[in-house]
Structure 1
Amino acid sequence: MVLAQSSFITQMEYSSLLYKNPRGIGCNKCHGDKGEGKLIAKYKETKKVKDGEKYIVIKLKKELRAPAIDKLSYAEFYKALNTNIQGMPKYYLTEKEIKALFFYLQQINMEK
């Protein structure tokens, strides 16, 4: 009888795969390859502002940016993943997965 190894990939390989594709959408898509934060979208917002007796239209250029996550402590990282944050999808990660993601960010940023 052949027994399977306990793991066929390294912790870094598992962590990298998880960071790049947890539940179908990778952390790297918004937070960058090393968690440095990233521009997600640019958009324009139009506001009407009262100017005396009339309204004027103001066009604002805005950006939606994902924050850097590469310098968070584990407690901050864990809290961010378990708090409803506008714009951040909810992944329902296990504690093991959260630790793996944190490990990945720590390891990949040692290369900087």
Structure 2
Amino acid sequence: MKNLFFLFITFLVLKSEDSFITQYEYGQMLYNNPRGIGCVHCHGKDGSGALIAKYKEDGKTKSLRGPNIRNKSIKDLKKSLFKRHKVMPTYFLTDSEIEALAYFLSNKGD
């Protein structure tokens, strides 16, 4: 019984204090390559948006840009990630993954 108690306490201590990677690093990893094409390709290195493509329509040059997502709340990120988009792929991220992405974006230095 004493050994079981020791294992349980060890598990709690390791789980709460020692993590293989930080939430920032996990969010960064997901941002760069969540499951397929990374957010970085359309939203830029810092989430402020990036040029995806230029094209001509009716003789005019137009641009397709990824929107700025740096100041999005977790609620807004979840809403956007679960919504079908014409251009953005669906990632099927978990709540904890979205929280890590939000943490990374809100703590990303310029």
TM range (shorter): 0.7 to 0.9
Aligned 1:29-108 pairs, distance under 5 A: 29-46=41-58, 59-108=59-108
CA contact (8 A) 2:51 2:65 kept: yes
Number of residue equivalences? 96
Normalized per residue, which structure has more strand? 1
Deviation at 1:24, TM superposition (A): 2.2
Larger Rg: 1
Cα shift readout 1:69-99 (whole Å, capped 9, x = no counterpart): 0111222111111101110100111111111
Task: Give the superposed CA RMSD.
Answer: 1.8
Confirm whether residue 16 of structure 1 aligns to residue 16 of structure 2.
no
Normalized per residue, which structure has more helix? 2
Q: 1:27 aligns with which of 27, 36, 39?
A: 39
2 CA distance for matches of 1:79 and 1:30?
18
Cα shift readout 1:51-76 (whole Å, capped 9, x = no counterpart): xxxxxxxx121111111101112221
TM-score (norm 2): 0.79
Gaps of 5+ in 2: 1-9
Letter in 2 for 1:88: M
